[in-house]
Amino acid sequence: MEIEATRQQIIELQSIISGEDIPVSPRDNDIVHIQTIMDKLFPLIASAPAGSMPPEMLKPLQSAVQHFIGHVQNAEAKGADKKQIAEYKKAVSEAITHLTAGQAPISEGDLFPAAAGGGGGGGGRRPSTAQATAMGEAVGTQNPSQNNAVNKVAAPPKPATAG
């Protein structure tokens, strides 16, 4: 089961990086998905130039980080170990801080708002205002709103050949 969950998350990461919107399933083995993302994505983020990536490179990484956050929220709602969850939250906070270096700081409360409901896949939840602002700042959008920066990150435009 763990191998299948790892394989599935690798496929999901590839799809997210190529611009697809992949929701978090409530049936996912969130801990395995989280570990896979930490092993595959976070070293890539750590090696990226801090705060100076062009938007076309930053958007896919932000989408993958949002997917990671969805898995952490689901794992927390399912009763995962609080110490483990704290480590994941710290890791994602460090990743976002690295990606958005030189911009307004982002607190853990901004990434994981207390009002976010637990359970159910992460795809249907709307980002908090702080998440929208952080994503908008990271892609260089002035005064981000639900209708511009977040939509561009959460649902990038389909290629002209897509049906």
> Over the stretch 40-72, which tens digit does the pLDDT of each residue have?
999 988 888 887 778 888 889 989 999 999 999
Task: Dig out the tokens for 81 from the structure.
Answer: 């170990």
Average pLDDT along the chain: 77
Spatial CB neighbours of 79, under 8 Å, sequence gap ≥ 6: none
21 vs 12: CA distance, rounded Å: 9
* Residue 24 pLDDT exceeds 80: yes
pLDDT digits (tens, 9 = 90+) for 86-117: 999 999 999 988 888 865 555 555 556 654 44
Instruction: Indicate the range of 45-49, 66-70, 143-147, 152-156 predicted with least confidence.
Output: 143-147
161 vs 149: CA distance, rounded Å: 23
Position 55 scores a pLDDT of: 80
- Half-sphere exposure in the Cβ direction for 86 (13 Å, CA): 3
Position 57 scores a pLDDT of: 83
Q: Provide the residue type at 81 as one letter.
A: D
Judge whether 69 and 20 are in contact, CB under 8 Å: no
